[in-house]
A and B are shown apart, each in its own frame.
Chain A
């Protein structure tokens, strides 16, 4: 079995939690998001459909919902970025005996609101919501949803009958919205005690009644914290927006090659910007025309644009599943997704350009991005970057100053000073060292002592 590689994470780093059908991988980068250190596989052989990062209340906690065809599903945590994981003796997410129901799979781990740091939610298959009020120590079935009269009528989709999305309203502590395949959107306005279907206007293409009260196969819903009344929905056929918290939905599928798709993510800073990856047809379920294209709206669904720079536009029959896309909250935002063919793609500039971060993984089923601790400003990159220009100017100035100082100094005075530092052989090393191209994040740091040294010589 492949040895598990570990990553070393620092504050300000971006970490990607990548869940696959056969284990999890942790990827780390600094805020430039150009190079990625890869850790894993964790839980080899176990599917990981749900991962999350909980940075509330001083935690640095990773969550993973691992599932084994043989040994069942369990929630596991790591407080050291994967060096050690819990593996609780007793399954921590379990249906009460009186329900007669057994857990099949964990689909979503969702830390609660920032002002409720001990609250977490867990969506599972068969469709049910579990809640923890003690930071994840204990979990309880949400009885209100479980007792809903519709539950017996929900039908499994291709991925099973799963509750895959949990959205606490950031402005209203009583409001919680969940999405079920195939049950539809349900919302509680009393803290989870009672639930109402919120599917008005969402088409169920596969049903005789195209606009039923419930039973839609919603694949993902998202909202922006600054405007929680507005929701976006990627359906099993159909793209929708709601401006009233899900009470009713309007079709926004204009200018996309297909309104079928699985994933959908919200821009972290712009409540009008949403990303999707359209998929062709209900049966084929691959990217249309063999082109891997992310589509973005920047006007809340009024129009959509294809983002293709860096993404393969030929023979790319890919599928991006519902939880396999994520954003970080840096500025510019990083956007990431993983494919069933085991590739991970990322954009450090909000989708303008894309790079393949990793390939050759087992099928990717979940991607979560997290910024650890306080975000640090992005490293200087690009010709027009003022920070880089400033650093370059400083290096040039230091170089000129050194040359000037060298010319001005008589040889006899320079030699004894050099000898004090060590033999001639070792003296050559720093010069060689200066020529060596340092890693980008070290270049600016390296420029500082040179500048000081040059300044000191100049004074002489």
Chain B
């Protein structure tokens, strides 16, 4: 069982340049999956979540094509082979 994380450009400086990181952990939820990602690449954590562990307001996390904002947040279930996308929101000026 494995999940893959799709890493956006800015965060690749913390994943040794990789745009796709595969974890062999067996996470049941997005929260557990992200914890596995932090273990592999600690620098990604504080860019994606606040010090209170919440996903930053202008960062979106998708499991497949679904944003976790609408599927249970960090408690969203994860299945074998899922791709988890970390995507900066289209915002700013």
Contact = CB atoms under 8 A, between A and B. Distances in A.
B13 A103 contact: no
A11 to B, nearest CB: 33
Nearest to A100: B52
Contacts of A103: 50-51
A284 interface: no
A97 B92 contact: no
Contact of B58 (A70, A90, A102): A70
A102 B52 contact: yes
B50 A102 contact: yes
Interface string A65-97: 000111110100000000000010111001111
A89 B92 CA distance: 24
Given A87-B13, A89-B42, A90-B42, A69 B92 contact: yes
A87 B44 CA distance: 12
A217 to B, nearest CB: 25
Given A87-B13, A89-B14, A91-B51, A71 B56 contact: yes
Interface string B9-42: 0110110000000000000000000000000001
Contact of B89 (A70, A91, A101, A102): A70
B13 A91 contact: no
Most B C-beta atoms less than 10 A away, residue of A89, A96, A103: A89
Contacts of A96: 51
B52 A70 contact: no
B91 A72 contact: no
A89 B43 CA distance: 4
A-side interface mostly: loop
B46 interface: yes
A72 B14 contact: no
A375 to B, nearest CB: 38
Contacts of B48: 71
A72 B46 contact: yes
B79 interface: no
B47 interface: yes
Nearest to B87: A70
A96 B53 CA distance: 11
B17 to A, nearest CB: 14
Nearest to B8: A70
Contact of B47 (A71, A94, A95, A102): A71
A74 B43 CA distance: 12
Contact of A70 (B13, B14, B45, B59): B59
Given A87-B13, A89-B14, A72 B43 contact: no
Contact of A102 (B43, B54, B88): B54
Contacts of A97: 51-53
Contacts of A70: 10, 47, 56, 58-59, 88-89, 91
B58 A69 contact: yes
A81 to B, nearest CB: 21
Contact of A72 (B13, B50, B53, B89): B50
A72 B42 contact: no
Contacts of B50: 72, 102-103
Contacts of A94: 46, 51
Contact of B56 (A72, A95, A101): A72
Nearest to A95: B51
Contacts of B89: 70
B38 to A, nearest CB: 10
Interface in A268-322: none
Contacts of B53: 97
A57 B47 CA distance: 32
A69 B91 contact: yes
A42 to B, nearest CB: 15
Interface in A33-82: 68-72, 74
Interface string B76-93: 000000000000110110
Interface of A: 68-72, 74, 87, 89-91, 94-97, 100-103
Interface of B: 10-11, 13-14, 42-43, 45-48, 50-54, 56, 58-59, 88-89, 91-92
For the complex of A and B, 5 pairs with smallest distance between CB atoms: A89-B43, A102-B50, A71-B47, A91-B46, A94-B51
6 contacts: A68-B10, A71-B88, A72-B50, A74-B46, A91-B51, A97-B51
